[in-house]
Amino acid sequence: MKLYYSNTSPYSRKVRLVIAIKGLEKQIDRLLINPFEDKETLRAINPLGKIPVLLLKNNEILFDSPVICHYLDTLCEDKRLIPEKGWQKWMVLRWEALADGLVDAAYNLVMERRRPTSEQSMTAISQWAEEIQQVLHEMELKYHELDGNITLAHLAVGTAIGYLDFRLPDLLYTSSCPQIATSPNLLSWYEAFKSQPFMQLTKPIN
């Protein structure tokens, strides 16, 4: 199998975390691709023009990080990251959706801030920043659900907070006092989680 990814993509990082946790490194060749510079190459394998993309042995292609992660989770039954049944399964998938939504808002905000100042939409920037804070607040209220064995929920949240830490660290703290975290319990959880070897192995690199 082949994984097309970027070192700075949070969507790619979540997939790479699953690969590391599941011990699939020897089964998957990882190919770096720049989605901004290699658009034609990327669109040839993914009509959405996005990463990550997973090319299977039978030449079938999977894209979108949740789809790839869910597929990879079926390849090693003794290390399931998504419970197969019961409420725990839906709780894990809900966390993944929440974390992916946070990444979507953060990515949009990063891209908007990169536009020339005169072309930036302050309305959009404000909207995405508010959405990020709402998600962080929800995660703060339920962070205790991340106790226990590592699941896809942990990897998705670690990826999302890691992307904020990488690109928008100011949003993790209050505007009035940069030393005070907006979600102290969640950030404390992340500080401990990011020290895990698999998190260090997949740290984004500019």
Same structural domain for residues 196 and 109?
yes
Domain holding 152, by residue range, is 87-201
CA dihedral 93, 33, 23, 162 (to 10 degrees): -50
The values of phi and psi at residue 29, to 5°, are -80, 135
Contacts of 85 (CB under 8 A, 6+ apart): none
Same structural domain for residues 46 and 115?
no
Contact 10, 199 (CB under 8 A): no
Domain count of the fold of the chain: 2
Instruction: Tell me what pLDDT residue 182 has.
Output: 85
Same structural domain for residues 100 and 191?
yes
Select from 79, 108, 129 the last residue of a domain. Answer: 79
Select from 39, 58, 79 the last residue of a domain. Answer: 79
Contact 179, 171 (CB under 8 A): no
> For residue 206, is it within any domain?
no
Same structural domain for residues 128 and 154?
yes
Distance, CA of 62 to CA of 198 (rounded, Å): 23
Q: What is the pLDDT of residues 150-180, one digit of tens each?
A: 999 999 999 999 999 999 998 998 766 666 7
Which residues of the chain are modeled with pLDDT < 70?
175-179
Distance, CA of 11 to CA of 162 (rounded, Å): 11
The CATH number assigned to the domain holding 144 equals 1.20.1050.10
